[in-house]
Amino acid sequence: MKCYECAKDGNSSDAVAVCAVCGMGLCMDHAIEKDVPLVQRTSGWVDHKIIHILCSKCAAVKSLTS
* Average pLDDT for the chain: 85
Neighbours of 53 (CB within 10 A): 18
Whole-number pLDDT of residue 45: 57
Whole-number pLDDT of residue 42: 58
pLDDT band at residue 55 under the 50/70/90 scheme: very high
- Extents of the domains making up the chain: 4-64
Q: Give 25's contacts (C-beta < 8 A, 6+ positions apart).
A: 1, 2, 3, 4, 15, 17, 18
Q: Does the structure show a pLDDT above 70 at 28? A: yes
Percent of the residues in the chain that have a pLDDT greater than 70, as a whole number: 76
Q: Does the structure show a pLDDT above 80 at 9? A: yes
